[in-house]
Structure 1
Amino acid sequence: MPDPEIRFIQTGDMPKPKTAPHLVCGFPGSGFVGKLAVDHLIEELKASRLVDIYSSSFPPQVLIGTDGTVDLMKNSIFWWEGDGASLLLLTGETQPQNPDSEYALAGQILDFAGRLGMKEVFTLAAYITGVFVEKPRVFGTATDAGTVAAFAQNNISAMDSGSITGMNGLVIGIAKMRGMRGTCLLGETSGYVVDAKASKAVLEILLKMINVKVDMANLDKRAKDTEMLIQTIEQQMAGKERPAAEGQQRPRNTGYIS
């Protein structure tokens, strides 16, 4: 298989950070947990677009904009700097479609952030349980034991088994190999809906860890929309349940939606 073509197209002036930036990645995935959180940061902080990233490993399709024009699927990195903090914010419309391309893109993203003096990378992801919850928990893993030991201070449940697939795992895995610090924060979600409640839970903890403040009102509204959608789904599920006829075994409720 030929190496994927990956192009970083600069869209803004390269910054000269006053403080070493955090890289925060919100790739699209289950529940769009990470993407919603990073998109909220970009919007509320009015971050500046730095680069658009195109790759031959992205799905072979174009997206149609509100003005009727098309654009290839891409990832983008935005920049923001405030008092005592600076951020590189990566949001994406897709992830690569094969493992070689995922490794290549993860490496190039870290190369780019490294040239700007990045001190730590965060990936925001979904912790899929298959059930709806009222208050999502946040789970975490990191590249070093010291960071994991501090999770309890921020009400993060440390993971001690399993795996993280795709870019959310690879980015921090490659960061560790390069001697960089990395953390993955995962919001508890059913995996069935676009889950702004889980996004909010993850973002609140991230903001505390990096000492940045943003208005959460718009994400609160989306979280309430998620809650209403979940209630509707649960009502529909309950309505489909019927008592088993006498002598028949009642089907087991698996909690899954088909």
Structure 2
Amino acid sequence: MTRISVVDDEISLDEPTLVEGFPGVGLVGKIATDHMIETHEMDHYANVHCDGLPRVAVYREDDRAVTTPVRLYADEAHDLVAIRSDVPVNPSAATEVAGCLESWFAETAVFPIFLSGLGREKDETPPDLYGIATGNGGEALDRADVGDPPEAGLVSGPTGAMLAEALEHDRDAVGLVVESDPQFPDPEAARILIQKGIDPIAGTETPTDGLVDQASEIREAKQAFAKRMQEATEESSQAEPLKMFQ
């Protein structure tokens, strides 16, 4: 089954910017996307039904209604869409999920911002952020002053598969890669993603003080999710250096 089921057809989008929040290293994409959804009070726009996604039902506190584990949220005023995922995606299903979403990307003419963490041991210096692109996406990186990668690498999981789909279809898209804690949820890296990458590209202004002030609470809240990620054989999405002859 491949279907994007709109639940709020009163929302109108015009070639929106899309922020992708599949979980990966440091949960940076998920933390950043969840924060943007809450801060901008984005509306539940659609449920994602893709072969390859876990067949589970999600429910919320004080709400009887169940929904899909992967959903789309929208901010009509900013022409912004976010993918929210409450489950890790098995790496073996990444290509299937990416192909499913690519069909909707084409129909909606979205400009995707894909998010990934690059595992680095934490120290006192702020995490570095750099950008990669397909099509003419590099122009958005230039406008946002996001630097080039300092070394060769690859992006795996659903994020890598969606970048591969964008490359194959010559779609304008960007990937933001941030240095992240390889073992634990990393709100600081998520803050860098938003401040230095997502906001300048999407034209949004997202307060991020809470990501730093409440870092301990965020880590604790995401810890169970992170444990499930660590128990998997691979991260759902991650960037990693390409250690081979070029």
Could you say whether these structures have the same fold, taking a TM-score greater than 0.5 normalized by the shorter chain as the test? yes
Contact 1:132–1:190 (Cα < 8 Å) also in 2: no
Once the 2 structures are TM-superposed, how far is the Cα of residue 155 of structure 1 from its aligned partner? Answer: 4.3
- Residues 1:223 and 1:12: Cα distance change in structure 2 (over 3 Å): same
Distance across 1 between alignment mates of 2:182 and 2:82: 24
Q: 2:172 aligns with which of 169, 181, 189?
A: 181
Q: Which residue in the other structure is 1:91 paired with?
A: 84
Q: Is the aligned partner of 1:36 residue 2:31?
A: yes
Q: Which residue in the other structure is 1:216 paired with?
A: 208
Distance across 2 between alignment mates of 1:43 and 1:134: 28
Q: Which residue in the other structure is 1:49 paired with?
A: 44
Q: Which residue in the other structure is 1:238 paired with?
A: none
Query: Once superposed, what is the RMSD of the aligned Cα atoms?
Result: 3.0
Distance across 2 between alignment mates of 1:6 and 1:134: 43
- Residues 1:20 and 1:8: Cα distance change in structure 2 (over 3 Å): closer
Contact 1:7–1:53 (Cα < 8 Å) also in 2: yes
Distance across 2 between alignment mates of 1:96 and 1:150: 27
**AA aligned opposite 1:202:** L
- Aligned sequence identity (%): 19
Q: Which residue in the other structure is 1:147 paired with?
A: 138
Give TM-score, length-normalised by structure 1. 0.72
Contact 1:169–1:184 (Cα < 8 Å) also in 2: no
- Residues 1:117 and 1:155: Cα distance change in structure 2 (over 3 Å): closer
Contact 1:139–1:187 (Cα < 8 Å) also in 2: yes
**Greater RCO, 1 or 2 (C-alpha within 8 Å, sep 6+):** 2
Number of residue pairs matched by the alignment: 219
Once the 2 structures are TM-superposed, how far is the Cα of residue 42 of structure 1 from its aligned partner? Answer: 0.9
Q: Which residue in the other structure is 2:153 paired with?
A: 162
Q: Which residue in the other structure is 1:15 paired with?
A: 11
Give TM-score, length-normalised by structure 2. 0.76
Once the 2 structures are TM-superposed, how far is the Cα of residue 116 of structure 1 from its aligned partner? Answer: 2.1
Larger radius of gyration: 1
Q: 1:112 aligns with which of 104, 118, 124?
A: 104
Residues 121-180 of structure 1 show CA distances to partners (whole Å, capped at 9, x for unaligned) of: 111110111344441111221114771795596243425412111111111220121121
Structure 2: unaligned runs, 5 residues or longer: 220-246
Distance across 1 between alignment mates of 2:122 and 2:54: 30
Once the 2 structures are TM-superposed, how far is the Cα of residue 12 of structure 1 from its aligned partner? Answer: 1.2
Once the 2 structures are TM-superposed, how far is the Cα of residue 6 of structure 1 from its aligned partner? Answer: 3.9
Once the 2 structures are TM-superposed, how far is the Cα of residue 13 of structure 1 from its aligned partner? Answer: 0.9
- Residues 1:182 and 1:214: Cα distance change in structure 2 (over 3 Å): same
Once the 2 structures are TM-superposed, how far is the Cα of residue 55 of structure 1 from its aligned partner? Answer: 4.4
Contact 1:139–1:188 (Cα < 8 Å) also in 2: no
SS of 1:20's equivalent in the other structure is coil
Moved more, 105-114 or 197-206: 105-114
